[in-house]
Amino acid sequence: MPTAPALTADLIARVHPGRGLDDAGAMPLLAEAETDALLDAALAAKPGAPDALWLFAYGALMWRPNFAFTERRPATVRGWHRRFCLWQWRFRGTRETPGVMLALDRGGQCRGLAYRLAGPEPRAALRAVWHREMRGQGYAARWLPALTPKGPVTALAFVANRAGGRYAGRLTEGEVAARIAAACGHIGPNAEYLLNTAAACAALGLRDRHLERLQIQVAAHLLARPAAAAAGGTGP
């Protein structure tokens, strides 16, 4: 039987050897004051002990957290699943060739990581990652029960904002794979995001067949593109 194509950093670089130019107007961001106001409202609604602040990670926060934490546990949330369902018109995509990013969407369950954030002041501990995730208006914040080997915790999770303009709905796996293979923004290719997230899941022993299938399909799309033709398309 033929071997399924593998998604690798070298294959991605063959098709996307550079990065695109940034277009700050492609995806409007919330102002700092608006983002802070949403953070204050979320913290005011936080259940449980005020000094216990947990964050659920299922995508880039598994492999690129930008916050201090004192503990990390495998965790599962029920009623939500990991899905590429947010348009990305900037960062890892453009208006002309949008990418798609992960969010938690309704139904099923998701295995990821629960981080206990460090520091005595919850707002200060959370602010940087809150701005990173919430300014693009693709996510809504939810306090969700997360099951861990040491017992349940209540964790903040960034779920898909279905009412927002970035919600892409239920794209098929084939549509998602084609978008991921084609898109590249000023911080890098969309396929790199998929590769890193899948690698983080695999390293933690978190089997995600959706990500596994997408890697094969994205690799097939990239292999079908001639390197010479693609070399000038994603920036210097």
The question of whether 133 is a catalytic residue gets the answer yes
User: Which residue among 133, 173, 192, 212 is the active-site one?
Assistant: 133
Q: How does DSSP assign the chain, residue by residue?
A: -PPPPPP-HHHHHHH--S-PPP-TTSS----HHHHHHHHHHHHHT--S-TT--EEEESSHHHH---S-EEEEEEEEEEEEEEEEEEEESSSS--SSS-EEEEEEEEEEEEEEEEEEE-SS-HHHHHHHHHHHHHTTS-EEEEEEEEEETTEEEEEEEEEE-TTSTTB--S--HHHHHHHHHH-EETTEEHHHHHHHHHHHHHHTT---HHHHHHHHHHHHHHHTS-HHHHTTSS--
Active site residues: 133
